[in-house]
Structure 1
Amino acid sequence: MDRGDLQRLSKDELIDLVLRMQRPDKTSRTSSKPPSTDRKARREKARPGGAKPGHEGHSRSMSEAFDELVDHRPDQCPCCLACLSCDLGAETVSAHDRIDLPEIKPFVERHRRLAVSCPSCGARVVAPVPDAAKGTPFGPRVHAMATYLKTFQALSYERLQGAFADLFGLTISQGGLMNMLRRAQRAFVSGRDAAVAALRRASVIACDETGVRIEGSNAYQWVFRCPEAVVHRAVPTRGAVVVRDLMDGHRPDVWCSDRYAAQQGHAGAHQTCLAHLARDVAYADEASEDMLPARLKLWLKRAFALADGIATFAPSTIAAKRRALERSLADILTTPTSCDLARGIQRKFERARDQLLTFAQWPGLVEATNNGCERALRPAVIQRKVTNGYRAMWAAKGEADIRTVVDTARLSPGANTFKTILKTVSA
């Protein structure tokens, strides 16, 4: 804004502009900005590193199994210098583990086709072509390792090539790595289809999306969650057509998301993510002197308390608390205010009024926030920041299929990412 624009402003507009400029910057606590953008606060009286005084110490627990046992026995008594023979009984005073990695090197299995002359007729008989001569020379574990490092550790092709050469002593060209990833991705198609089928049977679904660059253009990474599956989608659009195509006519009972319009109207009921609203309220409460944001902050605190303890409440208690929250919210939304921030928060709550307490009508099945989808999208966000996107659409879609299979497996306790990839590629 230049000097001429400032002179044309009225007194009230100028005051409003000054007040806006004095508002605090938004942080991850008061907006959807990631924590990495927050400015680290200076700690004048920060204590040195380590545990607090009086803090109970912790150490690494012993391994459940070991590969080699080494006993250390005393040879001589320090008092009388008597020899302590090995046939004397001994007790264990302490045990200690020393952990190291063995040398990792490729295991090369060479296959030779042999020809034998028949002693009866003299015909030359050649062995059939072995499977090792067909397709790639690299086995499933090499494919799984490349897929794991590229997808979940966000290594570029150059760094992936260096990791194989330095760690495993295996030289692979970047083109060979690309072909290896394309072959591995095909193994995840059946697992992806199974996850999509489970999603289309679910009664409660949550979804979210984030931006990504694909082939130099803006695109989007979507994620859909239900208790039985997690489905990732890499598509060039953010429109509702993504949801319609994936659901293929299925309409669940409840849908959970933020307030984005493309994620609305796909189920009989909707749960708006209260965490998104809480961040907006936190900023309004910090930047405004009006009491309305503070009242909404307390209202959200009561709503979160109901969501956290809903498994322990009787149905009648849940219904009573929900009615009390609805009455309190109606009173807050009808309160007049002269603060533009407070009015904006009022409008957001009013538009989502029938979507705020859906979780109380479906206790134990619907969550009050959409944090599960945000956590599922976090690796894709990190990948975008590290690599700046995908050069080809097949890479984005293939990685989405891999994340679908792995994240669905993670819904079961004890799932291991690399083992899931290895099992899928081996199959």
Structure 2
Amino acid sequence: MAPPPLHVLSDAEKNELLLAQHEMIERMAARISELEALVGKPRKTSSNSHIPPSKDDFGKGGGKRGKARAGKRPSRAGKHRPLAEAPDKTERVMAATCCHCGTDIAGQTQRCRHRYDHIDLPPIRPIVTRIELFGGRCRGCGLRYRAPAPAGMEPGTPFGPGIRSLLAYLHHSHHVGFERLARIARELFGLVISEGAIANIFRRMEAGMSAATRAIRDKLLTARIIASDETTTRTNGVIHWQWVFLSKDAVLHRIAPRRARSVAEEVLGGHQPDVWISDRYAGQQELGREHQVCLAHVLRDVQYAIDCGDTIFAPKIRDHLRWAIRVGKRRSSLKDTTLAAYAAKADDQLTRLMRAPVAHPAGQLLLRQIKAWRAKFFVFLTNRDVPATNNISEREIRPSVVFRKVTNGFRSDWGAQVHAGYRSVTGTARLSGQSALAAIRDLVDGNFAVA
């Protein structure tokens, strides 16, 4: 917009215009300084920051994919599907005529020349059971009576536990939306079911999920070592946070409208584990007697300092942390005295590296971070049960991230809580070797129990 002619403005209007222009110049100067500070800095990727690999922009110069290998691809050993140990049916086929000359060979002795399996699925159709409850009027008391419903076939929803557990499994484990669930049921199983009926099935699971979640939480609070992580989700279009808490026997998911430390404190209820494992988020700190920070996150920060141009301090820190992680992977074969010596060596070597002068700005920033967190780097070298990274939490929460991206979150609060309960039940069951489908079927049948 063109400025007004100055000769028509009063002195007060001119002063107001000058002040507005001054404020605009200051904002632009600040923005220019911010952009100049970014010039020359490397782009953040999944290898040097928390950015997921999906943001690396493969094919646009930002990804890690290199050129294809030149030359012939090396050969690999052949693979084949083994024969089934107990086939449902065996069909022996005898030759009637010679395939070369046509001679009748039906009466000759033959032996098996080729054996293979043919595998197929039969048509899958729902079993419809009509329930007829008979009754009458009692001759003794004169009141009406009716036969009780068969166990597991009570009136209410017409869909049995097999259908309910399969729908929950497809939705929460394989991220199939309601519309596609209805279509899959109709086209694969010949089952006509509406999206509203599917929603009602899931909502009826809420009580069972809540009871199972309480049992899982009780099991979690007996653990000496707990790992935790959190990620965003959407409920009713509003950003919420999904937390995960893991021990060697229990997995608990919790969806809350906030990322505050109070969520973890509410779950713990005063319990303080011996070791808490997490990233360096402030809300995850001081929840255990000791704290192991995720060294994978630290290594990404180290890599960013290297990408910024620090070729002295950051590479040494990277090599030292990688060495410590390699030692951690060999803990099962090390004696207690040897492991204690390695722990002391790791701490002493880190101290020596930090005493050296650091000239590069990225290295100086990294040094300040290490000084703040170094006491939480090597807990895994003093406790054999503690991992060096928090990858177990990230792997556990990853399916929910995929669920969010595919379905765009939840349209109701109860839907979010059912998903958290489902992930808790199936995650806990997996620790004891049970599949997700079997675990949710046990829950629907009322047989789920925490091992």
| TM-score computed with the length of structure 1 as normaliser | 0.89
2:54 to 19, 36, 46: 36
**Does 1:339 find its partner at 2:360?**
yes
- Matched residues in 1 for 2:264 and 2:270: separation? 10
- Matched residues in 2 for 1:43 and 1:302: separation? 27
User: What SS does the corresponding residue of 1:221 show, helix, strand or coil?
Assistant: strand
Give the partner amino acid of 1:382: V
2:222 to 201, 212, 218: 201
Structure 1: tracts of 5 or more residues without a match: none
- Matched residues in 2 for 1:24 and 1:327: separation? 31
Change (3 A) 1:138 1:68: same
The residue number in structure 1 matching 2:231 is 210
**Does 1:411 find its partner at 2:431?**
yes
1:378 to 381, 385, 398: 398
The residue number in structure 2 matching 1:66 is 87
The residue number in structure 2 matching 1:106 is 126
Deviation at 1:83, TM superposition (A): 2.3
The residue number in structure 2 matching 1:128 is 147
Question: Is the 8 Å Cα contact of residues 147 and 184 (structure 1) preserved in structure 2?
Answer: no
Deviation at 1:230, TM superposition (A): 0.7
Give the partner amino acid of 1:426: D
User: What SS does the corresponding residue of 2:113 show, helix, strand or coil?
Assistant: coil
1:85 to 86, 103, 107: 107
User: What SS does the corresponding residue of 1:55 show, helix, strand or coil?
Assistant: coil
Question: Is the 8 Å Cα contact of residues 205 and 444 (structure 2) preserved in structure 1?
Answer: yes
- Matched residues in 2 for 1:59 and 1:418: separation? 28
Question: Is the 8 Å Cα contact of residues 192 and 231 (structure 1) preserved in structure 2?
Answer: yes
Question: Is the 8 Å Cα contact of residues 244 and 254 (structure 2) preserved in structure 1?
Answer: yes
Deviation at 1:359, TM superposition (A): 0.6
Q: Give the 5 Å matches for 1:108-257.
A: 108-114=128-134, 127-128=146-147, 130=149, 132=153, 134-257=155-278
- Matched residues in 1 for 2:375 and 2:66: separation? 43
2:284 to 259, 263, 270: 263
**Does 1:305 find its partner at 2:326?**
yes
The residue number in structure 2 matching 1:359 is 380
The residue number in structure 1 matching 2:443 is 424
1:279 to 300, 312, 315: 300
> For 1:83-132, what per-residue CA distance to the aligned partner results, in whole angstroms no more than 9, with x for missing partners?
2437x362x333211211111111100112346899x99x9987425354
Structure 2: tracts of 5 or more residues without a match: 1-23, 60-64, 447-451
Give the partner amino acid of 1:189: S
Give the partner amino acid of 2:333: T
Using the aligned pairs only, state the percent identity.
32
Deviation at 1:24, TM superposition (A): 2.4
- Matched residues in 2 for 1:116 and 1:237: separation? 57
- Matched residues in 1 for 2:345 and 2:438: separation? 49
- Matched residues in 2 for 1:407 and 1:218: separation? 24
Deviation at 1:75, TM superposition (A): 2.6
User: What SS does the corresponding residue of 2:91 show, helix, strand or coil?
Assistant: coil
Change (3 A) 1:219 1:45: closer
Deviation at 1:79, TM superposition (A): 7.4
**Does 1:97 find its partner at 2:117?**
yes
Deviation at 1:141, TM superposition (A): 0.6
Change (3 A) 1:89 1:402: same
Question: Is the 8 Å Cα contact of residues 143 and 184 (structure 1) preserved in structure 2?
Answer: no
> For 1:293-327, what per-residue CA distance to the aligned partner results, in whole angstroms no more than 9, with x for missing partners?
11111111111111111111111211111111111
Deviation at 1:243, TM superposition (A): 1.2
Change (3 A) 1:113 1:268: closer
- Matched residues in 2 for 1:289 and 1:306: separation? 26
- Matched residues in 2 for 1:349 and 1:93: separation? 68
User: What SS does the corresponding residue of 1:23 show, helix, strand or coil?
Assistant: coil
Give the partner amino acid of 1:130: A
- Matched residues in 1 for 2:91 and 2:28: separation? 85
Question: Is the 8 Å Cα contact of residues 206 and 417 (structure 2) preserved in structure 1?
Answer: no
Question: Is the 8 Å Cα contact of residues 117 and 125 (structure 1) preserved in structure 2?
Answer: yes
Give the partner amino acid of 1:418: L
User: What SS does the corresponding residue of 2:228 show, helix, strand or coil?
Assistant: strand
Change (3 A) 1:201 1:138: same
Change (3 A) 1:185 1:7: closer
Question: Is the 8 Å Cα contact of residues 95 and 105 (structure 2) preserved in structure 1?
Answer: no
Give the partner amino acid of 2:149: P
Give the partner amino acid of 1:283: Y
Change (3 A) 1:140 1:84: same
Once the two structures are overlaid, the 10-residue window that deviates more, 25-34 or 186-195, is 186-195
2:409 to 381, 384, 389: 389
Change (3 A) 1:326 1:113: closer
- Matched residues in 2 for 1:124 and 1:217: separation? 54
The residue number in structure 2 matching 1:401 is 421
Provide the aligned C-alpha RMSD in A: 2.9
User: What SS does the corresponding residue of 2:427 show, helix, strand or coil?
Assistant: helix
Which is higher, the Rg of structure 1 or of structure 2? Answer: 2
Deviation at 1:5, TM superposition (A): 6.8
- Matched residues in 1 for 2:281 and 2:96: separation? 75
Question: Is the 8 Å Cα contact of residues 244 and 393 (structure 2) preserved in structure 1?
Answer: yes
Question: Is the 8 Å Cα contact of residues 301 and 366 (structure 2) preserved in structure 1?
Answer: yes
